[in-house]
């Protein structure tokens, strides 16, 4: 069952969304060749706890870290480790926070140093897929419209869409109904209503869409070892259209909002 949120609940989710958005923004600025993914994880956990929140991923179904750190052919759910990021890597950070009872979830794939043109393009197209998906997060549309927005754009560039993992409803729990595939048919699937909050997260591969899980039981990699990129936002469906809760608002903009 899809649980719609009240305005008050969406206001709280905006707080967790802004926090996790700021955490990801700070991590992005920090990433450089030579840094270990575990150092990024520790920085994330400290920021989250210092803000009075909890790193949602830590302990989730036994996941041991605060971020998922997925490099190159790793799709999602990678373990932070003593791996030193290399110039040319693409590094997906997925991070969640629980603040005042509500979860915010966001991810981005960050180029490390100078990165090849084909990898940069993969990252860019994945972000475009997410933007196109967000545009479809409107009352009256269907879940298939979101999936189709991602799939059609990715495939137009010759990429494939990961099918084994999907986006999700989000609220007091990180994973709520519905599942939100990154593929689908326009006009199909559940109807979207105001008050729904979704975490939309395209995972796009240069090669084949199939994945496998490593022996650690978590790290998902592409079956052909070709690179994969991932991007995610938490989005509230409102009467004014999609509100990207995890997109960081600048201070000036916040002032305008609070003055209004
Ligand atoms: Mg998610």
Q: What tens digit of pLDDT does each residue of 14-48 get?
A: 999 999 999 999 999 999 999 999 999 999 999 99
Q: How many residues does the chain have?
A: 260
Q: How far is the CA of 86 from the centre of ligand 1 (A)?
A: 26
Q: How far is the CA of 259 from the centre of ligand 1 (A)?
A: 32
Q: What is the pLDDT of residue 1?
A: 87
Q: With pLDDT > 90 as the criterion, what percentage of the chain qualifies?
A: 95
pLDDT band at 257 (very low <50, low <70, confident <90, very high): low
Q: Quick check: pTM over 0.75?
A: yes
Q: How far is the CA of 244 from the centre of ligand 1 (A)?
A: 14
For the segment(s) 7-244, the CATH number from 3.90.230.10, 3.40.640.10, 1.10.150.20, 2.40.30.10 is: 3.90.230.10
Q: What pairing do the DSSP bridges indicate for beta strands 220-222 and 160-161?
A: unpaired
Contacts 24+ apart (CB under 8 A), 172-176: 172/101, 172/102, 172/103, 173/103, 174/56, 174/57, 174/60, 174/96, 174/103, 174/105, 174/199, 176/2, 176/3
d(CA 133, CA 124): 14
Listed by start position, the domains of the chain span 7-244
Is residue 255's pLDDT more than 80? no
Q: How far is the CA of 233 from the centre of ligand 1 (A)?
A: 8
Q: What is the pLDDT of residue 97?
A: 98
Q: How far is the CA of 30 from the centre of ligand 1 (A)?
A: 22
Look up residue 259 and give its two tokens: 């003055």
Q: How far is the CA of 128 from the centre of ligand 1 (A)?
A: 17
Report which secondary-structure segment, H or E, holds 20.
helix 7-30
Q: With pLDDT > 70 as the criterion, what percentage of the chain qualifies?
A: 96
Look up residue 216 and give its two tokens: 């650690």
């Amino acid at each position: 069952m899809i649980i719609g949120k009240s305005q008050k609940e969406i206001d709280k989710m905006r707080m967790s969304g802004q926090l996790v958005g700021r955490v990801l923004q700070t991590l992005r600025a920090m990433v450089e060749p030579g840094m270990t993914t575990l150092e990024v994880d520790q920085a994330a956990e400290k920021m989250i706890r210092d803000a009075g929140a909890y790193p949602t991923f830590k302990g989730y179904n036994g996941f041991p870290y605060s971020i998922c750190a997925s490099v190159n052919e790793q799709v999602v759910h990678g373990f932070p480790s003593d791996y030193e990021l290399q110039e040319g890597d693409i590094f997906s950070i997925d991070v969640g926070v629980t603040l005042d009872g509500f979860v915010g979830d966001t991810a981005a794939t960050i180029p490390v140093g100078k990165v090849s043109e084909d990898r940069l393009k993969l990252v860019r197209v994945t972000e475009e897929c997410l933007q196109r998906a967000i545009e479809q997060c409107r009352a009256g549309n269907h879940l298939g419209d979101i999936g189709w927005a991602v799939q059609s754009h990715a495939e137009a560039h010759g990429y494939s869409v990961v099918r084994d993992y999907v986006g999700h409803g989000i609220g007091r729990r990180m994973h709520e109904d519905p599942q939100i595939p990154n593929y689908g048919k326009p006009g199909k699937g559940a109807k979207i209503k105001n008050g729904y909050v979704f975490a939309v997260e395209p995972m796009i591969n240069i090669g084949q869409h199939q994945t496998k899980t490593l022996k650690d039981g978590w790290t998902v990699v592409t079956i052909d070892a070709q690179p994969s990129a991932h991007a995610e936002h938490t989005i509230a469906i409102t009467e004014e259209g999609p509100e990207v809760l995890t997109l960081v608002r600048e201070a000036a903009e916040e002032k305008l909002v609070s003055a209004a």
